Homo-oligomer: A and B are copies of this chain.
Amino acid sequence: MDFIEELRTLKEQLMFEHKFNVPKTTKNVVIAGMGGSGIVGKIFTELYSSLPVYLVDDYSAPDFVSKETVYIAISYSGNTEETVSSLQEAIRKGANTVAITSGGKLLDMSHQRVVIPKGLQPRSALGYMLTPLLKSFGAVQQHEFKEAYDLLSRIDANHHEEEQIAHDIYVSEKVPVIYGVPPYKAVAYRWKTQFNENSKILAYSGSLPEINHNDTMALKGTYRRDEFYFIALTDGRNNTVERRIGITENITGIKFRRIKVEGKSALARVMAAVHIGDYITYHLAKLRGKDPLDVGVIEELKERLQESTGTQ
A interface residues, Cβ below 8 angstroms from B: 27-28, 34-36, 38, 48-54, 57-60, 62-64, 82, 173, 175, 177, 182, 192-193, 195-197, 199-204, 207, 209-210, 212-225, 227-228, 239-240, 243-244, 247-248, 250-252, 290, 295, 297-298, 300-301, 304-305, 308-309, 312
Contacts and interface: CB of A to CB of B under 8 A. Distances in A.
A94 to B, nearest CB: 15
Contacts of A36: 213-214
Contacts of A243: 305, 308-309
B213 A58 contact: no
Contacts of A252: 297
A219 B297 CA distance: 9
B214 A35 contact: yes
A82 B290 CA distance: 42
B247 A308 contact: yes
Contact of A225 (B27, B199, B202, B304): B202
B52 A207 contact: no
| Number of copies of this kind of chain in the complex | 2
A196 B224 contact: no
12 contacts: A27-B28, A173-B224, A200-B217, A201-B221, A201-B222, A202-B222, A216-B301, A220-B297, A221-B297, A247-B308, A251-B300, A251-B301
Interface centre among A248, A298, A309 (most CB of B within 10 A): A298
A218 B288 CA distance: 13
Contacts of A215: 196, 202
A200 B220 CA distance: 8
A304 to B, nearest CB: 5
A217 B297 contact: yes
Contact of A218 (B62, B195, B209, B220): B195
Contacts of A199: 218
A295 B251 contact: no
A305 B50 CA distance: 31
Contacts of A219: 202, 297
Contacts of A34: 209-210, 213
A57 B212 CA distance: 11
A190 B251 CA distance: 24
A224 B203 CA distance: 11
B217 A197 contact: yes
B244 A221 contact: no
A202 to B, nearest CB: 5
